[in-house]
């Protein structure tokens, strides 16, 4: 199917899109309104129709189980630095998937993101991908000093490790969305194997306050998650996102995935790990809702050199 066959796409538009690298209907189907708007100069309403039409044609294309298996063969795992946590996740965090870390303040979300930004650089035999990291920092909590400590802890050259982490500060939720939309080029150029979004939700919480804005917030956040999922699929990389929630004293009786303050991410992440503080400075990670792994818990610690058993 040619681009011109999409409703609202004339010859001139199709040409513009092709020049910008959108050569197939498929590439339109997975594009976001924002990126197409800039290239085509068309209105959001029209673009929504075009993208919808492109997506509808895609839904006719089924994959066989074998094809899915083939795609999953390219899936890789990144070690978390703790054997217990790796076991819980069946070997580490997966590429082609979004892993959500949620838990209260100080539960270790940011520390794990730092650790993964280091570990993705490890050679494959040591649980890495020998690729680099993109760190989307929304709370200004990225600390190069921690990276240096963790790199040393892995016997890696700290300067190289630091150089191979690209940090993008996101100043508000729209900016955060924009960064992910624009990330494709950078991902290719810098050979990115991990994207950490720390925190996924903080800007969305402060930008969309009040009951009336909940639907808007949800919609934007869903789109952001879809953008991230698209990057995972196209570039065979791992995405880890963090989400601060308040601890629930009734955790063991209630539903841990429905935290106070409202759970805004829903179920668009593939793996969800609930983190909590435990006795003696230890941390507990609990796997929730995994498509192919049993639920369970792992105890780990945060030390000077990073995440360990
Ligand atoms: P919020 O972003 O506030 O929601 O918390 P978080 O879940 O991101 O917490 P974070 O990952 O920042 O964890 C902070 C905790 O990590 C601290 O309370 C320490 O227990 C631990 N930590 C951080 N740096 C070090 C360090 O250099 N040495 C040791 N031993 N522990 C550290
Ligand atoms: Mg944090």
Q: Predicted confidence band at 19 (pLDDT cuts at 50, 70, 90)?
A: confident
The pLDDT score that the predictor gives to residue 42 is: 87
- Band the pLDDT of 82: cuts 50, 70, 90: very high
268 or 42, which is more confident? 42
How are the residues of the chain apportioned to helix, strand and coil, as percentages rounded to the nearest 5?
Answer: 45, 20, 35
The closest residue, in CA terms, to atom 2 on ligand 1 is 105
Instruction: Give the integer Cα–Cα distance in Å for 156 and 146.
Output: 13
Q: Report which protein residue has its CA nearest ligand 1's atom 14.
A: 106
* Residue 268 clears pLDDT 90, i.e. is over it: no
The ligand placed nearest to the CA atom of residue 146 is 1
Which residues are paired to 240 by β-bridges?
Answer: 99, 196
Q: What residue owns the CA closest to ligand 1's atom 22?
A: 302
- How much distance in Å is there from the Cα of 240 to the middle of ligand 1? 17
Return the higher-pLDDT residue of 21 and 220: 220
Name residues contacting ligand 1 (CB within 6 A). Answer: 103, 105-111, 244, 302-304
Confidence band of 237 (pLDDT split at 50, 70, 90) = very high
Region of poorest pLDDT, from 47-56, 109-118, 159-168: 47-56
> 103-134, pLDDT tens digit by residue?
999 999 999 999 999 999 999 999 999 999 99
**Residue 112 Cα, ligand 1 centroid: separation in angstroms?**
9
Ligand 2 centroid distance, CA of 197 (Å): 10
Ligand 1 centroid distance, CA of 107 (Å) = 7
Tell me how far apart the alpha carbons of residues 255 and 308 are, in angstroms, rounded to a whole number: 28
Select the more confidently predicted residue: 210 or 150: 150
Average pLDDT, the chain: 88
Number of the ligand closest to the Cα of 153: 1
- Mean pLDDT, residues 168-193: 95
Closest ligand 1 atom to the C-alpha of 244?
Answer: 4
Which residue out of 81, 82, 85, 106 has the highest number of ligand 1 atoms within 8 Å of its CB and is therefore the one to mutate?
106
Closest-CA residue, ligand 1 atom 10, reads: 108
pLDDT of residue 215: 75
| Segment 42-59 mean pLDDT | 86
> For residue 286, what pLDDT is reported?
94
Q: Which of 103, 108, 112, 114 to mutate to test the pocket of ligand 1 (most atoms within 8 A of CB)?
A: 108
**Nearest atom within ligand 1 for CA of residue 114:** 11
Report all structural domains of the chain as residue ranges with CATH numbers, in order of start: 3-57 (1.10.150.20), 70-308 (3.40.50.300)
Report the C-alpha gap between 193 and 239 in whole angstroms: 9
Of the chain, the percentage scoring pLDDT greater than 70 comes to 92
Confidence of residue 249 (pLDDT cuts 50, 70, 90): low
Q: Which ligand is nearest to the CA of 243?
A: 1
- On the CB side of 33, CA atoms within 13 Å amount to 12
- In sign, the C-alpha dihedral spanning 106, 108, 109, 110 is positive
Given a cut of 90, whether residue 41 has pLDDT beyond it is no
- Is the pTM for the entire model greater than 0.85? no
């Amino acid at each position: 199917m040619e681009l011109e066959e999409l409703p609202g796409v004339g010859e001139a538009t199709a040409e513009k899109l092709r020049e910008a690298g959108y050569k197939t209907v498929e590439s339109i189907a997975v594009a976001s309104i924002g990126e197409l708007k800039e290239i085509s100069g068309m209105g959001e309403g029209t673009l929504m129709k075009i993208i919808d039409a492109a997506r509808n044609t895609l839904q006719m294309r089924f994959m066989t189980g074998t094809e899915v298996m083939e795609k999953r063969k390219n899936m890789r795992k990144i070690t978390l630095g703790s054997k217990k946590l790796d076991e819980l996740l069946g070997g580490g965090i997966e590429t082609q998937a979004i892993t959500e870390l949620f838990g209260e303040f100080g539960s270790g979300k940011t520390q794990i993101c730092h650790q993964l930004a280091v570990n993705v650089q490890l050679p494959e035999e040591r649980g890495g991908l020998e690729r680099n990291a993109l760190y989307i920092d929304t709370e200004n909590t990225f600390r190069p000093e921690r990276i240096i400590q963790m790199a040393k802890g892995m016997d890696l050259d700290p300067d190289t490790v630091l150089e191979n982490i690209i940090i993008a500060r996101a100043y508000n939720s729209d900016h955060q969305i924009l960064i992910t939309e624009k990330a494709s080029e950078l991902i290719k150029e810098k050979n990115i194997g991990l994207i950490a979004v720390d925190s996924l939700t903080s800007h969305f919480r402060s930008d969309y306050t009040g009951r009336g804005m909940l639907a808007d917030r949800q919609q934007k956040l869903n789109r952001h998650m879809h953008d991230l999922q698209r990057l995972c699929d196209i570039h065979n990389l791992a995405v880890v996102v963090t989400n601060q929630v308040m601890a629930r004293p009734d955790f063991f009786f209630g539903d841990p995935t429905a935290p106070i303050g409202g759970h805004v991410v829903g179920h668009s992440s593939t793996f969800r790990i609930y983190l909590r503080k435990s006795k003696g400075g230890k941390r507990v990670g609990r796997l929730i809702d995994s498509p192919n792994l049993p639920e369970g818990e792992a105890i780990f610690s945060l030390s000077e050199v990073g995440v360990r058993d």
